[in-house]
């Protein structure tokens, strides 16, 4: 059985490996929801290939827009796959920090209410 440190280290390494492989291997096809949007807007057959220049957002009606710092898990075209790897690693570290932080915050409050 692994101790906590080994377990966390192994977990982070596995997560980073998955993320890095994803940068190179991930499919460029639209995801299930976007693909469905293409189907219902007549840009794609249910079982057919997705159009190169398909626009899934065409079915949307909302006009709220938000510019994220690392859209599509990348740092922009010019950074290429290096940017993708950095974005994924940043995401994994942010996730760890946020989850551990949130968990401790909840627990601290818990202990505070007990005393």
Partner 1 sequence: MHIPDAFIPLPQAVVYWIVALFFLALAVKWARSEINEDKIPLIAVLAAGIFALQSFNLPVSMGTSGHLVGGALAAIVLGSPFAAIFILTLVLIIQAFIFGDGGITTLGANIVNMGVIGGFVGYYTYQGLLKAVKNSYVSAAIAAWLACLIPALACAIEMALAGTFPLIPGIISMGVYHAIIGIIEGIVTAVVLYILAMARPDLMDVKTGVGTA
Q: Interface with partner 1 by CB under 8 A: which residues?
A: 1-2, 4, 7-8, 10-12, 14-16, 18-19, 21-22, 25-33, 35-37, 39-40, 44, 46-50, 56-57, 59-73, 87-88, 90-92, 94-96, 98-100, 102-104, 106-107, 109-110
Q: Kind and range of the H or E element at 92?
A: helix 80-114
Question: Closest distance between partner 1 and the C-beta of residue 115, in Å?
Answer: 15
Taking the C-alpha atoms of residue 23 and residue 46, their distance in angstroms, rounded to an integer, is 27
Q: What is the DSSP letter of 12?
A: H
SS3 44: coil
Residue position matching structure tokens 């818990």: 110
Taking the C-alpha atoms of residue 19 and residue 42, their distance in angstroms, rounded to an integer, is 33
CB 11, CB 88: distance < 8 Å: no
Q: Which is nearer to partner 1, 80 or 99 (CB)?
A: 99
Question: Closest distance between partner 1 and the C-beta of residue 58, in Å?
Answer: 9
Q: Which is nearer to partner 1, 78 or 110 (CB)?
A: 110
Taking the C-alpha atoms of residue 59 and residue 37, their distance in angstroms, rounded to an integer, is 7
Q: Which is nearer to partner 1, 23 or 78 (CB)?
A: 23
Question: Closest distance between partner 1 and the C-beta of residue 86, in Å?
Answer: 12
Question: Closest distance between partner 1 and the C-beta of residue 30, in Å?
Answer: 6
């Amino acid at each position: 059985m692994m101790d906590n440190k080994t377990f966390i280290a192994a977990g982070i390494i596995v997560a980073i490996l998955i993320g890095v492989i994803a940068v190179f291997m991930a499919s460029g096809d639209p995801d299930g929801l976007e693909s469905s949007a293409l189907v219902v807007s007549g840009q794609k057959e249910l079982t057919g290939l997705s159009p190169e220049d398909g626009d899934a957002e065409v079915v949307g009606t909302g006009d709220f827009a938000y510019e994220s710092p690392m859209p599509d898990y990348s740092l922009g075209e010019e950074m290429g796959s290096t940017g993708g790897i950095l974005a994924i690693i940043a995401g994994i570290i942010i996730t760890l920090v946020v989850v551990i932080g949130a968990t401790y915050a909840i627990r601290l409050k818990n202990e505070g209410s007990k005393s």
